[in-house]
Amino acid sequence: MKRVVVTGLGALTPLGNTVEETWKNAVAGKSGAHRINRFDPSAFRTQIGCEIKDFDPTKYLERNEIKRSDLYTQYGIYAASQAMEDSKLDLEKIDPFDIGVIWGTGQGGMLSFEDEVQEYAVNGKENPRYSPFFVPKILVNMASGLISMKFGLRGINYTPVAACATGNAALIDAFNYIKLGKAKVFVAGGSEAGITEASIGGFSSMKAMSTRNDDPEKASRPFDIDRDGFVMGEGAGAIILEDYDHAVARGAHIYAEMVGGAMTADAYHMTATHPEGLGASRAMTDALKEAGFKPADVDYLNAHATSTPVGDISEMNAVNNVFGDDLKSLHVSATKSMTGHLLGAAGALEGILSIKAINENKIPPTINVENMDPQIPSGIQIVTNEALDKEVNVAMSNTFGFGGHNAIVVFKGV
């Protein structure tokens, strides 16, 4: 089997419009949350989110590309362009059929869907005037397609959709195709633009999101006894995965090696995770087995931990089940406390933060932990409120999604 390494990173997040800015603010424990600006949220239970700031799509997109694409696609192209620049791939020296794109999203073009349907409902029933770009803009596969067109990449190209496990599913698929020799390089990751009226309204009605509207920066508080739901985030993360021999031959900078990935299903509930974390436990165990590591080898776990009362506990129960007596060598943090929950892009962003933890030997904190939930197993070492300096050789990143999807990835230093 081929080895798979990381040779490029790109990010557009509530903490910054580059990987370095995002990492700097994550390590500093900065929150990306505030009152929603994209629309007036006054009518909703939840009125806060982690929005992208100062987004200028013209840095990487032509004006006709902007006109024809939804915001989630623009986010994706933006992050993918950064990653391609960072990788220093010379596309004139690589067969374009050897480079693929596997790009995920949970909701796709939700903003475009809302805009067009509202326009029809208010003004269009007598004379419907849907945009000719309406359907392409809302399709969940359009970001992967347009990223491939942007760079002329003709290899494997599609979009996995596994709710909030989507980002890791994209990484795992790309990892497996390279291992099998089906491609030499992938642009893998995900993007989401979920801060829209329908999305906020829908999650609000489920009572899944925090209503700490008077204190947005402290609303996302994984593991804290007073957590009351997640905070919606948006943005994109892009990772260039490459065949090791190919990367070495061209003198690429290698950030880390992806060594394991596993997916399972809870088969339990439409939205809730299994209370004992059965599916999550198996996915973590399988990912470690593929990586050739024991639980004691893992230095850092970037937890899915969204700040929901049920989800955080079930995940920590799973961690306790898998690591047991080896918890003393593991540190855990939940970066969603700062970025919010990027849904289908979460795994890609948290994969980047895990890779940066390996490169920088530093673990970003879980902010807003004031009173640890006593239901969390006592042996789990959660990094709270301040970053931790620690040698990180192996990092695991967890993602779980509505529908019972579990996807786990493992990286190691090189």
φ and ψ of 413, to 5 deg: -75, 160
164 catalytic per annotation: yes
Catalytic residue list contains 50 = no
Residue 304 annotated as catalytic: yes
- Closest to 11 measured CA to CA, from 235, 180, 237, 196: 237
User: Which residues lie below 8 Å from residue 20, measured CB to CB, with a gap of 6+?
Assistant: none
Residues 75 and 58: their CA atoms lie apart, in Å, by 11
Coil, helix or strand for 292?
Answer: coil
Burial readout 298-326 (b: 16 or more C-beta within 10 A, e: otherwise): bbbbbbbbbbbeebbbbbbbbbbbbbeee
First to last CA, the chain: 18
Question: What is the three-class DSSP state of 224?
Answer: strand
DSSP code, position 128: -
Question: Of the candidates 89, 78, 103, which has an alpha carbon nearest to the alpha carbon of residue 19?
Answer: 78
- Active-site residue (options: 274, 331, 341, 405): 341
Q: Catalytic pick from 164, 246, 274, 405?
A: 164
Q: Of the residues 50, 246, 274, 304, which is catalytic?
A: 304
In whole angstroms, give the CA distance from residue 106 to residue 86.
Answer: 26
Catalytic residues: 164, 304, 341
